[in-house]
């Protein structure tokens, strides 16, 4: 009984997935969904920018400033590791 039900379920699941795939590819659904997501992200970016500008006007470091600094530190670390590798190559050092 269970096996028969499961077989029927698998067939239904497969058919439903195929049908939903056509729905989820439909531009009539996707275009407005994409536009809504874009609008939401633009709004969030605008709010963040406004907040950052206000903080900047007060002479405070913004989150973005801190992120940039941390990123540059990470990049510097990578460059140092590059140099270390080159030195190792020169001295033919094995790990």
Partner 1 sequence: MNRWSLRAQNLGALAVRPKVPVGVTPADVVHAENKWRLLRYRPRHLRFKTPVLLVPSLINRHYVLDLMPGKSLAEWLVERGHDVFVIDWGTPGDEDRYLTFDDICDRYIGRALRKAAAYGPSGKAHVLGYCLGGTLAVIHAAVRPEHVASLLCIAAPVKFGGSAGGQDSLLEAWTRLSTFDVNSLVDAFGNVPWQLMQSAFHMLRPTMGLSKAVHLVDRAWSDEFLDGFLAIETWSNDNVSFPGECYRTYIESIYRKDELAMGTFALSGIPARLENIHCPVFAISFEHDSIVPADSAKALTDRVGSKDKTHLHLPGGHVGAVVSKAAADRLWPKLSDFWAQRDDLRNALPPAPAVAH
CA distance linking residue 76 with residue 59, whole number of Å: 26
For the chain, report the end-to-end CA distance as a whole number of angstroms: 62
Binding site for partner 1 (CB under 8 A): 2, 6, 9-10, 13, 16-17, 20-21, 24-25, 27, 30-35, 37-38, 40-42, 44-45, 48, 63, 66-71, 74-75, 77-78, 81-82, 85, 94-95
**Which C-beta is closer to partner 1: that of 44 or that of 60?**
44
Q: How far is the CB of 38 from partner 1 (least distance, A)?
A: 4
CB of 87 to partner 1, least distance (A): 14
Token reading at 12: 């239904």
CA atoms within 13 A on the CB side of 72: 6
């Amino acid at each position: 009984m269970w096996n028969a039900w499961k077989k029927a379920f698998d067939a239904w699941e497969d058919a439903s997935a195929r049908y939903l795939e056509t729905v989820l590819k439909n531009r009539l659904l996707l275009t407005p969904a994409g536009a809504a997501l874009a609008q939401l992200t633009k709004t969030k970016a605008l709010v963040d920018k406004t907040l950052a500008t206000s903080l900047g006007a007060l002479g405070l470091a913004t989150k973005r400033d801190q992120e940039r600094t941390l990123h540059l530190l990470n990049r510097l670390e990578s460059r140092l590791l590059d140099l270390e590798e080159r030195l190792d190559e020169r001295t033919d050092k094995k790990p």
